[in-house]
Structure 1
Amino acid sequence: MPVDKILTQIKDEHYLKWPRPLHSSPNVRDKNKYYQFHKDHDHNTEDYMDLKEQIEELIRKLQLQKYVKKGKYSKFRDGNKSQHRSSSRNDDRLSQPPQDMIGEIKTIIGGPFSRGSFKSLKKAHQRQVNSIHTIPPFKQQRTDQDMSFNEGDATGVKQPHNDSLVIILNIEGFNTKRILMDNGSSADIIYLPAYQQLKLDPRRLRLFDFPLVSFNGDRVYPRGIMTLTVTVGTYSMELTHQLDFLVVDCPSSYNVIIGRPTLNKWKATTSTYCLKVKFPTDNGAGKVKGDQVLARECYHVVLAAKEKEEDKMEALETVELAEGEASKTTKIGTR
């Protein structure tokens, strides 16, 4: 059922959240388009993403089942049924009722590839998700470069382990240690102490006023963004690229975090089990082995910082300075 017809049916329901009035001037709005959800002119009801997302969420909560074909979610989003052909496996998965209580573990989000407000970022990302099924499959040429991993790649790694993949890269001519390969980060980050040791021209630092959001929900505003020359691998199987790094001033046991932007640019494959990263080059598959000792040193730095913070928050006990004089007390640590 089209979005506008569904809206007509549910407009009086308590669960429908109506939007705020449009901010644009009435004089510049398109009078030929009427948006039923805003009750105003400027665009068509079918074109509004927030309404579609809200309706889909209500469908997932089983509140609009009478508007949905039995056993499947409605395909009303794009209005073109031919664009929604998918495998029977996907349809079967969609037909399963969703779980009501699913937790979410956040990773580092934000960065130069997702600048803008979080609301606009969500809309842009949703549009990209919706367009994935309409993109023809990419025909990649086969190569003889081995990007897979086997037990031989884990030679020299002390097992079992839960260590991070920490490597060394050449950044602006400096062999830089303590670099974390983080598939969960949407940004490449260099921490302020490492940035200062590179002795870079401060005029190269560009303004960047959008925050990063860490896994615990904290927002961090970078000092700026800088393009740095980075080389990974060894001659003759190496890559050299200009990469954008956010300069971040906050405590970290790492000097640099390499996130998805660079991993994708390198077309890299990582293995935390083997503690190794591989990437294609003109002369074959390049590879960099992680430093297990450095990884554990970084981990111990984190533990030491956490222990120090806990010591500061040590429980205090109230004691009397003079026996029988309750008004004269002090507090001492329980340790």
Structure 2
Amino acid sequence: MSVACLSAEDINPELKKARVDIQPILSFSDKDKIGAIQPYDDTLEITLRIGGYDEKRVMVDQGNGAKIMYPDLYKGLNLRPEDLTAYDSPLVSFDGKVVIPKCQIKLPAQAGSEVMEVDFIVVDAYYPYMAIVARPWLHALGAVFSTLHQNVKYPSSGQIRDIIGAQLPPLEKEELIEFLKRNVDVSVWSAYEALGVDPSFIYYNLNVNPSVTPKKQPPRRSSKDHSDAVRDGMKKLK
């Protein structure tokens, strides 16, 4: 008489299938900090292929739900007005100001072999980045990121891929600061010192929706308690 010992996989084929379908784990360790400049307080800035071009200075912002494109990228991609769609929902910038977007456009954003269609909101405002990618892009890519490790990790073809963040080396940072200090005399601190500059470059425009009729707000009057508190505060300054 012979006795056969069946394996757990033969008893339950689902175990074998589950083993094959196991996805790699997205995690960070001290090894991922190798190459990252420490210590620092930089945001995570990456290079991403947008609209068929490799674009540097793309900020990854998990705390934001809106994908933003700034004028430099909009002009660099030579986008046409017919490529754009209307978008008039106001946004709040990092400094708390309300910004009225110009429009919206859908463009492919490629990380390695993974391509995601992203709806970028075009904002006519200055910012040091070309674009911002946010939670929807991270979730669609199945990615996680770490500012500590300056890295974005995402699954692709059963493997873990990563996008390394860009940092300014300490030596270059010191050289840049020294350069600015040496040339502080050529800097201008007022529009009246910028003679010969095209006025359209230095004009300040209110970021408002021109289709909305402006309304004058009624004057606000301070309460007696508030006025007394201000008066007492001014007396203490004398």
Using structure 1 for the length normalisation, give the TM-score: 0.44
Q: CA RMSD in A?
A: 3.0
1:279 paired with 2:150, answer: no
Q: Identify the structure with bigger relative contact order (alpha carbons < 8 Å, sequence gap 6+).
A: 2
Aligned pairs, number? 163
Q: 2:140 aligns to what SS in structure 1?
A: helix
Alignment partner of 1:247 out of 93, 111, 122: 122
1:205 paired with 2:84, answer: yes
1:190 paired with 2:69, answer: yes
Q: Deviations over 1:244-302 (max 9, x none)?
A: 000011011000101111112112111111100011222312210001129x97xx89x
Letter of the 1:147 counterpart: L
> Could you list the runs of 4 or more consecutive aligned residues of structure 1 that deviate by over 4 angstroms after TM superposition?
307-310
Match of 2:10?
none
Alignment partner of 2:96 out of 217, 227, 231: 217
CA distance in 2, matches of 1:291, 1:184: 20
Q: Deviations over 1:131-189 (max 9, x none)?
A: xxxxxxxxxx9734131000111111111111111000111111100000011211000
Match of 1:129?
none
CA distance in 2, matches of 1:247, 1:219: 14
Q: 1:203 aligns to what SS in structure 2?
A: helix
5+ long unaligned stretches in structure 1: 1-140, 314-335
Q: Percent identity?
A: 33
Letter of the 1:216 counterpart: D
Match of 1:290?
165
Residue 309 of structure 1 deviates from its aligned partner by 11
Instruction: Confirm or deny: 8 A CA contact 2:91 2:100 kept in the other structure.
Output: yes
Letter of the 1:197 counterpart: G
Using structure 2 for the length normalisation, give the TM-score: 0.62
1:268 paired with 2:143, answer: yes
Q: Deviations over 1:24-67 (max 9, x none)?
A: xxxxxxxxxxxxxxxxxxxxxxxxxxxxxxxxxxxxxxxxxxxx
Q: Deviations over 1:227-256 (max 9, x none)?
A: 0011013xxxx3101110000110110001
CA distance in 1, matches of 2:187, 2:150: 30
Q: 1:159 to 1:142 in 2, by over 3 A?
A: farther
1:311 paired with 2:186, answer: no
Q: 1:189 to 1:309 in 2, by over 3 A?
A: farther
CA distance in 2, matches of 1:211, 1:221: 5
Instruction: Confirm or deny: 8 A CA contact 2:67 2:134 kept in the other structure.
Output: yes
Letter of the 1:253 counterpart: P
Give the 5 Å matches for 1:162-181.
162-181=41-60
Q: 1:264 aligns to what SS in structure 2?
A: helix
Q: 1:311 aligns to what SS in structure 2?
A: coil
Q: 1:250 to 1:270 in 2, by over 3 A?
A: same
Match of 2:38?
159
Residue 207 of structure 1 deviates from its aligned partner by 0.3
Residue 214 of structure 1 deviates from its aligned partner by 2.0
5+ long unaligned stretches in structure 2: 1-19, 192-238
Letter of the 1:264 counterpart: H
Letter of the 2:110 counterpart: T
Instruction: Confirm or deny: 8 A CA contact 2:23 2:158 kept in the other structure.
Output: no
Q: 1:148 to 1:309 in 2, by over 3 A?
A: farther
Q: 1:293 aligns to what SS in structure 2?
A: coil
